């Protein structure tokens, strides 16, 4: 029986949390579990997912697909067992691309992506801006990423509130770059979220690990570069949880999941409903 596709945005309220690195590694870790994965770079203005994934020659990208200049499969690049749909590096292209978006084209693109995969991960831009709203609104689920600092935690709270408004389910959050030098413990993060949101478990506590930076310099996901390091072990455990193979049970999608994901992205991009 074919698995139902899931769309998950990875978001943060603050830049520099390691969100893009986490998205790339989570995708690779899910792929290692035998899952079909596509990562869409939703950071339309400051795209860098392709660099983290070691993809340096991406002549065709998401903008080309949206504008109808290219087919979806022409802009999908495979590395480390998963597919990536990157954005271009010219931030001045963003406004032009979005202003010309047609509902029918968005529907075609999302339908095709979800037909090809079990997990569509969307790397959302940091902060609260139009492109962040687009990325979160396009997904049925959202995983916020924060660092163990007070400012990052407050920003993560804002992103969760935004996801709630957009109707995206937040299954839990990820605390990234934790360790002895952290301002907050995992327990303190959960306590804060419990007081402000009612409940928000920390799905993964990913420690600060020098292997992550080494891997980034080589353009290799750390789960491939050094599978046994602390960060890789934590990310692989997160992948099992997200895949429904550990801890929190995952609620299966209903049949209209593809149509709903499509309509969400159409509404976010164009301001129009299906």
Mean pLDDT of successive 10-residue stretches along the chain, which has 274 residues? 81 90 97 97 75 87 84 95 83 61 74 92 78 74 94 92 88 93 91 88 95 94 98 97 70 50 60 56
CB 37 within 8 A of CB 117: yes
Instruction: Determine whether 187 is exposed, middle or buried from the number of CB atoms within 10 Å of its CB (0-12, 13-18, 19+).
Output: exposed
Tell me how far CA of residue 9 lies from CA of 42, 139, 141, in angstroms. Answer: 9, 6, 6
Question: Residue 119 corresponds to which tokens in the numbers above?
Answer: 């997990």
CATH code at position 219: 3.40.50.300
1 within a domain of the structure (yes/no) = no
Residue 34: count of CB within 10 angstroms of its CB: 9
Identify the pLDDT of residue 269: 57
Q: How many domains does the chain have?
A: 1
Strand partners, 119: 6, 37
How open is the CA angle 61-66-72, to the nearest 5 degrees? 60
139 within a domain of the structure (yes/no) = yes
Domain of residue 175 covers 6-270
Backbone phi and psi for residue 125, each to the nearest 5 degrees, phi listed first: -70, 155
The model's pTM: 0.86
CB 11 within 8 A of CB 142: yes
255 within a domain of the structure (yes/no) = yes
Identify the pLDDT of residue 138: 76
45 within a domain of the structure (yes/no) = yes
Q: Distance between CA atoms of 35 and 182, rounded to whole angstroms? A: 33
Backbone phi and psi for residue 93, each to the nearest 5 degrees, phi listed first: -80, -15
10 within a domain of the structure (yes/no) = yes
Q: Classify the phi-psi angles of 212: left when phi > 0, otherwise alpha if psi is within -120 to 50, otherwise beta.
A: alpha
- For 32-89, write each residue's pLDDT tens digit: 999 999 999 877 656 688 889 988 888 898 888 888 889 999 999 999 999 999 986 5
Q: Alpha-carbon dihedral of residues 9, 133, 273, 141, nearest 10 degrees?
A: 20
């Amino acid at each position: 029986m074919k698995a139902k596709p899931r769309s998950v945005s990875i978001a943060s309220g603050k830049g520099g949390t390691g969100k893009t690195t986490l998205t790339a590694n989570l995708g690779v870790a899910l792929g290692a579990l035998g899952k079909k994965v596509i990562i869409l770079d939703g950071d339309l203005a400051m795209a860098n997912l392709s660099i983290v994934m070691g993809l340096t020659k991406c002549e065709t990208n998401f903008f080309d697909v949206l504008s109808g200049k290219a087919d979806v499969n022409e802009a999908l690049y495979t590395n480390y067992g998963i597919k990536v749909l990157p954005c271009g590096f010219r931030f001045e292209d963003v406004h032009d691309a979005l202003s010309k978006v047609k509902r029918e084209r968005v529907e075609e693109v999302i339908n095709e992506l979800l037909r090809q995969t079990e997990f569509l991960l969307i790397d959302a831009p940091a902060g609260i801006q139009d492109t962040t709203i687009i990325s979160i609104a396009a997904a049925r689920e959202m995983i916020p990423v924060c660092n163990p600092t007070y400012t990052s935690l407050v920003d993560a709270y804002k992103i969760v509130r935004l996801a709630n408004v957009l109707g995206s389910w937040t299954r839990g959050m990820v605390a990234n770059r934790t360790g002895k030098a952290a301002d907050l413990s995992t327990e303190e993060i959960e306590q804060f979220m419990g007081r402000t949101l009612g409940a928000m478990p920390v799905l993964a506590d990913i420690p600060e690990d020098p292997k992550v930076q080494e891997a980034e310099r080589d353009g290799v996901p750390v789960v491939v570069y050094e599978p046994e390091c602390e960060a890789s072990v934590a990310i692989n455990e997160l992948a099992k949880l997200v895949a429904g193979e550990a801890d929190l049970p995952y609620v299966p999608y209903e049949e209209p999941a593809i149509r709903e994901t499509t309509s969400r992205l159409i509404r976010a991009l164009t301001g129009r409903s299906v």
